[in-house]
Amino acid sequence: MDRETYLFHQTPVELCRDLIKCIPIEASDFLYEPFKGEGAFYNSFPPANEKDWSEIEQHRDFKDYVGEYDWVISNPPFRLEHGQGRINSFWYLIDYYTHRSRKGVAFLGNDRCFATMTPKRIEGLKQKGWYINKIVVCSVKKWRGRYFFIVFQKKPCDFYTPLLTNY
């Protein structure tokens, strides 16, 4: 994997610190950062919590991780290689981690990532017992547009309601 294939946008450390405060992490929770990059999120995790990470550039691919965790917290890659091309990976990764995490998934993404969460997909999450419990909107000057830190939990919440009919 080289930087020609993937564009890396390192998350500002200050932003990670502020976003982590928005997650209801308990002292006993095991935290996992599957796309560590330079470690802005991982290094900002509360020091009392057990934690682990993956990073393809350091030969630890998220697909090979077998440990258990309560929370997945990351600024995931927005595109991944899939078959013959690239896909918007945001929804794929939400679906992947809501099958594996015990308590929650918190991802930072842009408007294109946010747009992958169709009514049908949100309803599917609800059927699995997962809900969007919080959305934090932020700006990063060196990046394009607004970013959304979306916190998914196994905790019922109805503030984000999908209408399944196409109009």
pLDDT of residue 8: 58
Topology of domain 13-153, CATH: Rossmann fold (3.40.50)
pLDDT of residue 2: 42
Predicted confidence (pLDDT) per residue in 132-149, tens digit: 999 999 998 877 778 999
Q: Specify the pTM.
A: 0.90
Reduce the DSSP state of residue 150 to 3 states and report it. Answer: strand
Tracing tokens 């929770």 back to the chain, one arrives at 29
Contact 70, 104 (CB under 8 A): yes
Torsion of CA 58, 63, 65, 68, to 10 degrees: 140
Tracing tokens 């949100």 back to the chain, one arrives at 122
> Alpha-carbon distance 96 to 107, whole Å?
13
Q: What are phi and psi of 42, to 5 degrees?
A: -55, -45
Listed by start position, the domains of the chain span 13-153
